[in-house]
Structure 1
Amino acid sequence: MAGQLGNQARTTRRAGWFLILPAGAFAAIFFIVPLILMISTSFRDGADTYASVFTSPVYGTVFLNTIRTAVLTTIACALIGYPFAYALTRSGPGIRLVLLAVVLLPFWTSLLVRSFAWVGLLQDSGLINQALIALGLTQEPLALIRTPLGVLIGMVHVLLPYMVLPLITTMGQIDPSALRAASSLGAGPWRRFARVFLPLSMPGLLSGAILVFVLSLGFYITPALLGGVDSTMIGETIVNEVTRFGPVTASALGMVLLAGVLISLALLLGVRSLRRKEGIS
């Protein structure tokens, strides 16, 4: 009997390895091998490439622009997405369906098309400046395109669903009885929100912040179309390095970006796990 159980366990383990083999092969071919090639390419000229990346003021400015834009995009998405997700989860089925369609609608349109649409809206002769001039709010067109503000507007529009969807999931799982219990204990609407609803929705907010921040660090199309020299991000710099000078410095920049993403992700996940431990304790 014990021998049969042992044989069944070994057969199950072998079957499990066969099941994960396609996924492992896919990861090795499309992720691990390219990563190894990028690492080897970045060290083609030795460590001098990394030294130039860390000591160059140009690359330093680009990294600062990237981090600043990613942080501002995350904050803006949180400020817009949290009230939107709250209204969606607290509304009736009909309005909830409409609001959910508004969130999912951008996914049905190409990122390139959305970015070009913002070019038409933000340029000097675009609809936004024409409306502002027609309303008498300004005499001259505002500088909305080729500026950090234009990049921020475009990136928030693209990345907002990645903030809203985790918030919707988390807020939808909050037990209404917890809010009713707070009301029965004398808590008003604002106190009930601040002491009960907001802490319970923090996992969704942190998950959305992680998604938006990590995706913002490697953004290319929207900053390239809406940004200017003062708002150049690391994705644009990597593309320019590849097209002008070859893959060596571009690979080093990519590795630095990857390291920054992993460090940022580890910090954010650490904050999330710390909040979970505080909630358990």
Structure 2
Amino acid sequence: MSSATADRRRADPARARERMLVMLALPALLLLGVIFIWPLLRLLSMSVADGTLDQFEKAALDDLYVMVLYGSMEIAVLVTVICLALAYPVAAWLAQAGRTGFILGMFFLLLPFWTSILVRTYAWMVLLGRNGVINRTLRDWGLIEFPLPLLHNLTGVLIGIVHVMLPYMVIPIYAALLRIDPDLRRAAEGLGAPAWRAFLRVTLPLSLPGVFAGCALVFVITLGFFITPALLGGGQVMMIAMLIEQQVREFLDWNFAAALATVLLAATLVIYAALAKLTGGQGHGAR
């Protein structure tokens, strides 16, 4: 038997398995096409329904809309930085905690997922208001004389979004830390490196894929936030999703709302692609 014939016989079962997997995935792909791709195409067609790019020109050149998009990105960056600062120590503790500590930590970390985002947001309104739990407690303790402005401003929006997004940052970092061989850190410390240097030279570089993955996830999701900034911002903090909803609800301008949504989608994809490239580069570097 020739080597070419043997190769073909070995390839036939592989092709059959590949065809079977494609057939099994076909219903799910069709469902995704109906649920996601068709509405997306409809959105794109609405944005150019008048046959021109005037809606995109308005979204790209009008100072108001540019400022809102820039403000949304600024909030997304702040949320990402705050989540990273809070999530890394939590993820490091979870990676080293025992079974009981890990279960308790994951329980409290994932608890927000079991509560409606609307309920969570109203809970923060009760906590952060001028006569809310936090201000009343601080006044009773004599720490403040006048209520702190924690609601209907950027501070309240950041607190609410960080509370929602923190698990999305912790879990990728935790997964990356879990894959690091602890013997590497012990070897560095055994060679005379203090704990902080072992962290900076060994643990941190190897955990960067998880850091970049968490940052990409938090940043992209935060860009499209609506309920939390709408309620905690009190109309004082405008994000792009709120602006899109306003165009539909108040002005019935579906075409311009579609153009704004398309701009947001394009910006999100570009940023995600850039972060994914950084994540891939860091992942290869870690290996």
Match of 1:251 among 254, 258, 262: 258
Q: 1:128 aligns with which of 116, 131, 134?
A: 134
Match of 1:227 in 2: 233
Deviates more, 1:51-60 or 1:134-143: 134-143
Secondary structure of the 1:145 match is coil
Aligned counterpart, 2:192: 186
- What do residues 52-111 of structure 1 show as CA deviations (whole Å, max 9, x unaligned)? 111111111211110010000000000000011111212222222211111111111111
| TM-score normalised by length of structure 2 | 0.92
C-alpha separation in 2, matches of 1:65 and 1:7: 55
Aligned residue in 2 for 1:151: 157
Q: Are the structure 2 counterparts of residues 33 and 129 from structure 1 closer, same or farther at C-alpha, using a change threshold of 3 Å?
A: same
Q: Secondary structure at the match of 1:270?
A: helix
Equivalent in 2, 26, 33 of residue 28 of structure 1 = 33
Q: Aligned AA for 1:224?
A: A
Aligned to 1:53, which of 43, 51, 59?
A: 59
Any idea what SS the aligned residue of 1:186 has?
Answer: coil
* Counterpart Cα distance in 1 of 2:151 and 2:185: 45
Contact 2:172 2:214 in 1 (8 A): yes
Q: Which runs of structure 1 show a deviation greater than 3 angstroms over 4 or more consecutive aligned residues? A: 1-14, 276-280
Where does structure 2 lack aligned partners over 5 or more consecutive residues?
none
Q: Distance in 1 between matches of 2:89 and 2:81?
A: 13
| Residue 90 in structure 1 maps to residue 96 in structure 2 | yes
CA distance in 2, matches of 1:38, 1:90: 47
Q: How many residues align?
A: 280
**Contact persistence 2:176–2:209 (CA under 8 A):** yes
Structure 1 position 14, deviation (Å)? 4.0
Aligned-partner SS, 1:70: helix
Q: CA deviation at 1:137?
A: 2.1
Distance in 2 (alpha carbons) for counterparts of 1:264 and 1:137:
42
Tell me whether 1:211 sits opposite 2:239 in the alignment.
Answer: no
Range moving further from structure 2, 62-71 or 132-141: 132-141
Cα gap change, 1:99 to 1:9, in 2 (>3 Å): closer
2:21 to 16, 38, 44: 16
- Distance between the aligned counterparts of 2:110 and 2:277, measured in 1? 30
TM-score by structure 1 length? Answer: 0.94
Give % identity.
41
Report SS of the residue matched to 1:63.
helix
Moved more, 222-231 or 3-12: 3-12
| Structure 1 residue identity aligned to 2:263 | V
